[in-house]
Structure 1
Amino acid sequence: MPVLPSWRTDPLWDQFAALLPERPTVHPSHPLGCHRRRISDRIVFDKLLQLLRFGCSYQAIADTTCSATTMRNRRDEWIRLGVFARLQQIALESYDRIVGLVLDQIAVDGSITKAPGGGEVAGRSPVDRGKHGLKRSGMADGYGIPLGRVLAGANRHDSPLLALTLDLLDGLGPLPEDITVHLDAGYDSDRTRAELAARDLHCRIAHKGEKAPIQASQRWHVERTHAWQNAFRRLARCYERRATVVNASFDLADTIITVRSLIRRAWTTHRWDDRPMRRP
């Protein structure tokens, strides 16, 4: 059984392959031209999807078609080329063109997950007995489409990460004149309000000490986005130690989330040749 249905992986791979440079099957500089052929990029791509979805180790999914070393080397090559970040950007642009991002309502919140291996963006988790943990300050639009994230140690507070997270709005192109940012009580401070006022952003912040259902504002969209991301077990329990690799994993997961939402929402309004027979 495939890790993802074909209606989701096929468009992902088509765009991913278009971003890859041409590579010969056999290196032309080899004197005999008979050494081992280059593993297909599609095989490695499928292996990385399995790794992301199931959260297993590289050795666990390595087989005769692809070794763990090849997966790591090809992953690092694609990170250096910026393929994962570019893929997420293209997915966002496509979603905005076809469906439309709800950028007048933005939600920001932090989420702590486990990071047993430590690493560059890990810290002592205050909710896991001081074990290594990873915090992501995520931002989502009014529907829950992930717009980006800032990674930090689990011991970092949400509020200081807000400015870095809002800086990600600069890469989204033209923005609405009035933008409302929805935040939870962890951001209830004069510093947060001053930061938002300096950016000409409106805010709806839950007050400390006052109980209110999450449905009282649009903050629940980013909570749902965190749940979507945690469904990828490699993100819910991160063993990667380098920040570039962790960000690449999030870029790939966010791309899958965006493409899935795009296909589901466009199913009732658009027609294309390989459109699923039923709404996904």
Structure 2
Amino acid sequence: MPVLPPWLTEPLWGQFAALLPERSPYAVTHPLGCHRPRISDRIVFDKMLQLLRFGCSYQAIADTTCSATTIRNRRDEWIQLGFFAQLKQIALESYDRIVGLALDQIAVDGSITKAPGGGEVAGRSPVDRGKQGMKRSGMTDGDGIPLGRVLAGANRHVSPLLASTLDRLGDLGPLPDDITVHLDAGYDSDKTRALLDARGLHGRIAHKGEKAPIQASQRWHVERTHAWQNAFHRLARCYERRAGVIDAFFGLADSIITVRRLIRRAWTTHRWDERPNRRP
């Protein structure tokens, strides 16, 4: 059974393949001019999708087609070239061009997940008996499309991460003149309001001590996106130790979420050869 349906995998791979440079099927540094053929990039890409979805180890996903060492080496090579970040940016631009990003309504919130292996962005989790955990401060548009995130230890409070999270708006090009940022009661402070005022943003912040359903504002979009991201087991229980590798897996997950939402929104308005038979 495939990790993702073909109508989702193929456009992702097609765009990712366009980013890859042309290379010889053999290592050019071999003294005899011949060598064992280079493992196909498509095989490694499919292995990365399996790692992201199932959260298993590299040794468990390796087989006769590709070793664990090859997966790690190719992963690091793609991270160094910035391919995962470029794929996410292309997915966002495509969604904005076809559907349109709802940038006038922004939602920001944090989410704590497990990080049993520790690492650069791990800390003692206050909700998991002090075990190692990771916190992400995520930002979405008004429809729940992930726009960016900041990774930190689980022992960090979300409000100090707001400024660096909002800095991700600078990567989105022209922004609306009037932007409302939806926040929960954890951001209810004069410091947060001063930060938003300094950036020319309007804040809709839940008040501490006052019960309000999440449906009362647009915060539920970011909560739903956190649930989508946690469906990828490598993000919900992260054993990676380097922040760059974790961010690459988040970039791949965000690309999948964005393309999936794009296909769902465009299914009733557009026609293409690989269009699914039913609305995804």
Same-fold call, TM cutoff 0.5: yes
Aligned match of 1:211: 211
Aligned match of 1:94: 94
Residue 123 of structure 1 and its aligned partner are, at CA, apart by 0.5
Aligned match of 1:5: 5
Q: Which shifted more, 44-53 or 15-24? A: 15-24
Instruction: Show structure 1 runs of 4+ deviating over 6 A.
Output: none
Post-superposition CA distance 1:45-99 (Å, at most 9, x none): 0000000000000000100000000000000000000000000000000000000
Aligned match of 1:179: 179
Are residue 59 (structure 1) and residue 75 (structure 2) matched? Answer: no
TM-score by length of 1: 0.99
Residue 32 of structure 1 and its aligned partner are, at CA, apart by 2.3
Are residue 246 (structure 1) and residue 231 (structure 2) matched? Answer: no
Amino acid at match of 2:250: F
Are residue 167 (structure 1) and residue 163 (structure 2) matched? Answer: no
Written as runs of structure 1 = structure 2, the 5 A alignment for 1:118-133 is: 118-133=118-133
Q: How many residues align?
A: 280
Q: Distance in 2 between matches of 1:225 and 1:88?
A: 15
Contact preservation (8 Å) 2:27, 2:34: no
Amino acid at match of 1:212: A
Contact preservation (8 Å) 2:108, 2:219: yes
Aligned match of 2:85: 85
Amino acid at match of 2:7: W
Aligned match of 1:103: 103
| Structure 1, unpaired ranges of 5+ | none
Aligned match of 2:28: 28
Post-superposition CA distance 1:216-272 (Å, at most 9, x none): 000000000000000000000000000000000000000000000000000001111
Contact preservation (8 Å) 2:115, 2:133: yes
Q: Distance in 1 between matches of 2:148 and 2:28?
A: 40
| Structure 2, unpaired ranges of 5+ | none
For the aligned residues, what is the CA RMSD?
A: 0.6
Aligned match of 2:48: 48
Are residue 142 (structure 1) and residue 142 (structure 2) matched? Answer: yes
Aligned match of 2:16: 16
- What's the secondary structure of 1:170's corresponding residue? helix
TM-score by length of 2: 0.99
Q: Distance in 2 between matches of 1:178 and 1:229?
A: 28
Post-superposition CA distance 1:169-212 (Å, at most 9, x none): 01100101100000000000000000000001001100000111
Are residue 279 (structure 1) and residue 279 (structure 2) matched? Answer: yes
